[in-house]
Amino acid sequence: MLDEPYRWIEAIENRREYIEERLQTGSPVVGIAYEQGILSLTVTAGEPKVFEVYDRMAVSAVGHPADIDKLRMQIIDMAHVEGFSKSQADVTLHRLVNFGLTPLIKQAFDTVFSSPLIVKLLAVELGQARRPNQLYAINYDGETRIHQQHSVVTGSEEMDAELMEYLGKHMGAENPSLEEAIRTAMRTWALGRHLTRAEEFTEMPTEDDLWASVQEQLDQAQIDAAVLDAEASTSSKFRRLTEEEIKVCLM
């Protein structure tokens, strides 16, 4: 069946369609660099979606829990073996993503006879010394987008672009405070939800609409948010935010 090039391209297209359909309703994940760290935020029905990877790294995701876990473990294993045998300083997101994760993801995507990975990741690394903050949005086919201030991963490419534009408009040149970052991330998430539900995208909802939508959704789900805090005194910079911490910002 796949002996002709055309067939293979067709198979890949089908695969793309299938994965995108499965991802479509995924809860968007937002990453924002704030004054003293990086925030990762999403809303989940229960399972955590933001994970600690290494001392200065976190990953969050949209997709099937089993696939998320598979990739999460992959990157955690690599980081720890590397950090142990060399140094913590040698564990960089650039290497983990480009030499570890994306080859695996691309291979899984291209192998049309096996079941695909239904997952998109947002991997973030807290910068230090001469390394800036890095936010890697990794697509289900292994393509990456790299940003330094903010990034977002959602169920579709169009929505990724839409939310990136929204973030670009609402973020200043300076990194915001954590409170502002949480509020912006929440609104961005709400816009994502709004766009998923809207049959046809006609006009931008107002800020009030977005807030109303946040409140409504939070009745059935909870916010999962964590920071990589550069001011933390321990070697691990990851900290999950408590419900109270988040609630205060949303008042």
Partner 1 sequence: MQTDFFDLLKGHGYAWPHLEGKGTAMPMTESTTILAVRYRDGVVIAGDRRATAGTAILYDRADKVIDIDTHSVLAISGSPAMAYEIARILEHSFKYYRRSQLQELSLEGKLRMLSNLIRNNLPMALQGIGAVIPIFASYDLDAVDGNTGKIFFYDAMGAQFECADFATTGSGSVWIRGALYYLNCWEKRLDTMELNESVGLIFRLLDAASEYDAATSGYNAKSKILPTMKTIDVEGIHTLDDAFLQEIYHEFVEVAHVG
Token code pair at residue 231:
């001011």
Output the smallest distance, CB 234 to partner 1, in A.
6
* DSSP 8-state code for residue 206: P
Residue whose entry in the numeric block shows the structure tokens 């107002």: 206
Residue 29 beta carbon to partner 1: minimum distance, rounded to whole angstroms: 17
For partner 1, the binding residues in 76-95 under the rule CB under 8 A are 76-77, 80-81, 83-85
Q: Which of 10, 11, 44, 52 binds partner 1 (CB under 8 A)?
A: 52
* Contacts (Cβ under 8 Å, ≥6 apart) of 72: 51, 53, 59, 61
Using the minimum distance from each CB to partner 1, give the nearer residue, 46 or 172.
Answer: 46
Does 125 bind partner 1 (CB under 8 A)? Our answer is: no
User: Using CA atoms, how far apart are residues 48 and 45, in angstroms rounded to an integer?
Assistant: 9
List of E strands, the chain: 29-34, 37-44, 50-54, 57-63, 119-125, 134-138, 144-147, 150-153, 222-229, 238-240
Give the nearer residue to partner 1 in terms of CB position, either 83 or 205: 83
Based on CB atoms, which residue is closest to partner 1, 53 or 210?
Answer: 53
For partner 1, which residue of 2, 9, 66, 73 counts as binding (CB under 8 A)? 73
Contact positions vs partner 1 (CB under 8 A): 48, 51-55, 73, 76-77, 80-81, 83-85, 234, 236
